[in-house]
Amino acid sequence: MVTKKMLEKKEVICQIIDNGEDAVELLSKENNFDLVLMDVHLPGINGTIATQKNKRV
């Protein structure tokens, strides 16, 4: 939440996802993100695995 507040002060639109599975699902459906920050300690699958599943070449 600290990161979100910092980004919103810079007028960056943020979306918070609570777990790795939801992140993978959202990123597979939507392609309108300029940047994705992942927590390596997400519940379920962690941010590292979620990032690998969404890796775009």
Q: Is residue 57 part of a domain?
A: yes
pLDDT of residue 12: 94
Q: Is residue 12 part of a domain?
A: no
pLDDT by residue for the chain (57 residues), tens only, comes to: 899 999 999 999 999 988 889 988 998 887 788 888 888 888 888 888 888 887 754
What is the residue range of 45's domain? 19-57
Given a contact cutoff of 8 angstroms between Cβ atoms, the answer to whether 46 and 20 are in contact is yes
Q: Is residue 11 part of a domain?
A: no
pLDDT of residue 5: 94
Q: Is residue 4 part of a domain?
A: no
Name the domain count of the chain: 1
Given a contact cutoff of 8 angstroms between Cβ atoms, the answer to whether 7 and 16 are in contact is no
Q: Is residue 54 part of a domain?
A: yes
pTM beyond 0.75, yes or no: no
Q: Is residue 3 part of a domain?
A: no
